Each structure stands twice: as structure tokens, then as C-alpha cells.
Chain A
Amino acid sequence: GQQVMQIPQYQHVQEGEDFTTYCNSSTTLSNIQWYKQRPGGHPVFLIQLVKSGEVKKQKRLTFQFGEAKKNSSLHITATQTTDVGTYFCAANTGTASKLTFGTGTRLQVTL
């Protein structure tokens, strides 16, 4: 079945440093979604990218969808302790209703 790989698995940064997580698929994706899960919480939808080469920003977060629609990235500028959590990418596979999640990147931010 389709797999969505995500790297790195874990990153520890100092507050104020930047952070990037990457998502890669072996097949072309129709779209990609990003979620954040705080420790002890549940995934919270952040954004969906649909178009080839699309770039979207949400305050300090920048999301990109690759030109070939096989990869995506999430970049956080000047991390804050509130950014702590695990970031997942997810892609619709098969029908629109089934999401295949990446393995997630756990972000730890210290002062």
C-alpha cells in the first residue's frame, strides 16, 4: 500500500531556532494535509495543500507541496515552546475518505 515517510523522527531545538519536517511519498499525491498533536492530545488539522508547488503560510508556519506532488514540508520560523508536539503529514489514499499518515516528527523546544 501507499506509504508516506516523514523525517526527522525527532528534533530538539532551542527556542527561537527554525524547524523543518519533510514528508515524502513514492507515488503522486492528490493532496496533502498537516496535523499537530500536542503531548496527550489528539491530531489537530493545520492545513491542506492541493496544487503542485503550492506554498501556504500561517503566521510562523510555512507549508510547501512539491512540484511533482510527491513531497511536502512544514517549516516553523523562530520556534516557541508552544510549538512542542508531533507534526504529521497525511495523504488521501484510494478514496477521499482514507488518510495515510506519515510517521510524524516530534518537536521539542527548550528555552
Chain B
Amino acid sequence: KAGVTQTPRYLIKTRGQQVTLSCSPISGHRSVSWYQQTPGQGLQFLFEYFSETQRNKGNFPGRFSGRQFSNSRSEMNVSTLELGDSALYLCASSSGLFFGPGTRLTVL
């Protein structure tokens, strides 16, 4: 079985722009969770989707949003990027048991 895939792997944006990240869970897995990892704050939960519905949400501003499609693929969107949004964004399949390689976002 293929693992969790995330695209793109690296991204450079400027302040004020928006970005969309994609995650495909392991085939057959319906749950996708998103985490932000920074040196200062560590790993923080963003949100989780299950069967196209947001099941749980972390403490992030409304600029961070997500969705899940019928094939379980998920996207997260960050609007009006700030410098502090620079981070490794990880998605996980099956409530955290399997993490993808992450998308490294740099905001200039």
C-alpha cells in the first residue's frame, strides 16, 4: 500500500498570498488530520476530516481552513499568509498513526 502523500513538498510564498496544500491518505483510510510543526511551538493540531466532514479543530485562526473530498483526499488552505506561518505542515492518516512527508512552507 502506498503511504500518505503530500504535495507540494516545498513551497515559497510571500506575505499576503494564499496557499493550498494537498494530502492523500493511505488507500481506504477515511480520516485525515493536519498538523503544523515549528521550532517554537512544536507539533500543533490544526483539524481533522472524516468522510468529508470536519470532526475536530485546533486553535488556529480562521485563515486556516480545510476540506476533504469524496475520495478522502484533503486540502488545507491558508489565506493572507504571515511570516509566522512558515512551518512544516504534516498530514496524517488514521488519526495520526501514519504521517506523510510534509510540505515545507516558507513565507517571505
> A residues bordering B, Cβ < 8 Å?
1, 33, 35, 41-45, 88, 90, 92, 94-104
Contact = CB atoms under 8 A, between A and B. Distances in A.
B58 A98 contact: yes
Contacts of A45: 96-99
The secondary structure that dominates the A interface is loop
A25 to B, nearest CB: 15
A64 B33 CA distance: 26
A43 B58 contact: no
Interface string B69-108: 0000000000000000000101000011111111000000
Interface stretch (B14-22, B48-56, B60-68): B48-56
Q: Which applies to chain B's interface (DSSP): helix, strand, loop or mixed?
A: strand
Contact of B50 (A41, A97, A104): A97
Contact of A43 (B55, B59, B95, B99): B99
Given A44-B99, A45-B97, A95-B55, A100 B90 contact: no
Contacts of B48: 97-98
B101 A42 contact: yes
B93 to A, nearest CB: 11
6 contacts: A41-B101, A42-B99, A42-B101, A94-B56, A95-B55, A101-B35
Given A43-B43, A100-B45, A95 B96 contact: no
